[in-house]
Amino acid sequence: MIGKRVVVTGVSAITPIGGDLETSWANLLSGRSGIAPITRFDSGEYATKIAGEVKGFNAEDFMTRKQAQRMDRFNQYAVAGALMLLEQAGFEITKDMEEEVGIVLGCGLGGLETIEEFHTRLMHKGPGRISPFYIPKLISNIAAGQIAIFTRAKGPNMVTTSACASGVHSIGYAFSDLKLNRVRAMICGGVESTITPMAVSGFNAMKALSTRNDDPERASRPFDRDRDGFLIAEGGGMLLLETLDQALERGATIYGEVCGFGASADAHHMTAPDESGQGMASAMRAALKEAEVSPSDVDHINAHGTSTPMNDVAETRAIKSVFGDHAYSMSVTANKSMIGHMLGAAGGVESVFSVKTLYEGKIPGTINLEYPDPECDLDYVAQGTREKQCEYALCNSFGFGGTNACILFKRYQG
């Protein structure tokens, strides 16, 4: 591994099972599902009537009412997540370092809620009733921009938009900038909030969502024979990355080390993964190669595990392709069984949970895995939380368009 060593010195999360990291983590370990009936709109005519909404979030805990009104919900999650992240890390962006602290976030769809709201206003009230904040509220990159305004981080500032791989791509690019010594610290991860009529109806039209409406908490079933689609969810997950030298100098708590990143494309189909899993496998191999780590050294995989028929089989095949017989010795888990699919935020949140697994030696289980798919025959930790001290954890994210991203974390041992 060439260049600076990069470590994780802060983590934050806003999820359907908790408004902060510790609540989310505790509920994940206890196997609690965050999937429930949709409350944002009347879903009576929709094939899917359930989703992973964030409950009890109050933007005014982090900003003024005026500031909140000028943000789409995904921007509110971004600012709140970043402020919690910096507080948890004990990291203050001082004037002498502000140009060396950057932000790169993943976001798949941006302000879809704002688009739908203002389109309705346009159709009913005309163009004169469109707010000057319409465009700034909806564009994806405003999430990183708003964090910069609130924190005074003046380094690289951008959003990666690569569907459901967005969050892991953002961490990978932040990692690369730090390795090359371009910055001193990076805020990275993912945010998303698209539980809207258009999103639900659009994914329903693709037959991508579960329609197990009568049993919400058991609807997301990664690797299970009876899975019938994913559940759209919202929230955010962020990490603070620093060079090891700086983290040690300021006496930071180090939660883990980032040691490899891989990305690839299936070049296969707009939405379906390559059934062989070879594109996914290519990204995993690239992450291991950058880290100079043997497949046999990896203990754990936080799977993309969407609960869709094709993805779960393709990912299992990819894991077997990369790890061979060792694939059966690793633990694999799917956080989406509890939190649903947070789209562009998924990789950020799941990376946070991967780091927590390494730091605490606890692997959250995959709930609802009652009837294993015969083609999904790995150790998916289906019987509750497992105590296990892992040295390396790989986090997978794969998105529409055949985009694949994998990030490899290592337990930090000083």
Catalytic residue among 107, 169, 259, 341: 341
Catalytic residue among 164, 188, 390, 395: 164
Catalytic residue among 188, 259, 300, 304: 304
Angle at which helix 142-151 crosses helix 73-89, to 10 degrees, equals: 40
Annotated catalytic, 376? no
Residue 42: burial class (beta carbons within 10 Å; 0-12, 13-18, 19+): exposed
- One-letter-per-residue 3-state SS of the chain: CCCCCEEEEEEEEEECCECCHHHHHHHHHCCCCCCEECCCCCCCCCCCCEEECCCCCCHHHCCCHHHHHCCCHHHHHHHHHHHHHHHHHCCCCCCCCHHHEEEEEECCCCCHHHHHHHHHHHHHHCHHHCCCCHHHHHCCCHHHHHHHHHHCCCCCEEEECECECHHHHHHHHHHHHHHCCCCCEEEEEEEECCCCHHHHHHHHHCCCECCCCCCHHHCCCCCECCCCCECEECEEEEEEEEEHHHHHHCCCCCCEEEEEEEEEECCCCCCCCCCCCHHHHHHHHHHHHHHCCCHHHCCEEECCCCCCHHHHHHHHHHHHHHHHHHHHCCEEECCHHHHCECHHHHHHHHHHHHHHHHHHCEECCCCCCCCECCCCCCECCCCCCEECCCCEEEEEEEECCCEEEEEEEECCCC
C-alpha to C-alpha distance for 4 and 13, rounded to whole angstroms = 27
- Say if CB 194 and CB 113 are below 8 A apart: yes
Annotated catalytic, 300? no
Annotated catalytic, 326? no
Sequence-separated (6 or more) residues with CB below 8 Å from residue 221: 210, 227, 228, 307, 337, 368, 369, 370
Q: Do strands 300-302 and 331-333 pair parallel, antiparallel, or not at all (unpaired)?
A: parallel
Active site residues: 164, 304, 341
